[in-house]
Amino acid sequence: MRSVQQDLSGKVAVVTGAGRGLGKAIVDVLAARGAHVVVNDLTLEPAEQAAAEVRTRGESASAVAFDVADPHKVNDAFAKIRTDHGRVDILINNAGIGDFVSFPDISPEKWDRMLDIHLKGSFNCCQAVLAGMKQQGYGKIVNISSVAGKRGDFIGNAHYTAAKAGIIGLTKSLALYAAPFGINVNAVAPGLFATELTDGMSSEMKATTISRIPAGRLGRPEEIGRATAFLVSEDASYIFGETLSVNGGSYMD
């Protein structure tokens, strides 16, 4: 039984990039705690599949497709969400891409696309919900960063690292602005988790990474789901602008 402080019944949550991986795990936990979850992905099929799985458990979810990097599509999508559901209480900016590449191999196109999806995408979605959250005097925003945004990434991936570090800065700045309106803005910084994204790593790269994790294993997606659900619950009502590390001890602030 969930506590009253963890109960999200009646809340409308939007999770971007949630057709699979960590985003889907976040959807599952929020829905299990009573929220109606709007599942976003770039295309409708994975979003609808994730939402359908939620509904088979007797919980509430719907699907929407849009590219978080396109501000016009973002604004249109959130306007429709508000029309359909009346409000947006919770926003989880999870949409992202992986690209395991060393610094000399980062092309301008790779750099731009990485920052467009991770950093600009988070900014676009925050702007799209902010006015409504201010009006209702309530909102919870969690931006998904990464351990790479705190320590750098020993694999390389400078474009990914820069985008994730930028998300931490965005989180702090928006938290300072939004706190007086009753809006909590925080971030989560995952380490390496067992998702489809890690399938792109070689076995050698994965083994090297795991050897640097004191917990001795990859994270389980539901562990990010629970950490994110904590930050949008009333248990975290006095937390603003923080980045919660969930990394098995691989980086400690």
Annotated catalytic residue, options 138, 160, 238, 251: 160
CA–CA distance, 26 with 30 (Å, rounded to integer): 6
Contact 161, 148 (CB under 8 A): yes
- Angle 231-48-113 (CA atoms, 0-180°, nearest 5)? 70
Residue 130, number of CB atoms within 10 A of its CB: 20
Write out the two tokens for 241.
Answer: 């602008």
Contact 158, 113 (CB under 8 A): no
> Closest Cα to residue 185, out of 170, 168, 171, 169?
171
CA–CA distance, 15 with 247 (Å, rounded to integer): 21
Half-sphere exposure of 150 (CA within 13 A, CB side): 19
Contact 52, 46 (CB under 8 A): no
> Could you confirm whether 160 is annotated as catalytic?
yes
Task: Give the full edge-to-edge strand order of the sheet including 36-41.
Answer: 61-65, 36-41, 12-15, 90-93, 139-144, 183-190, 243-246
Which residues are the active-site residues? 160
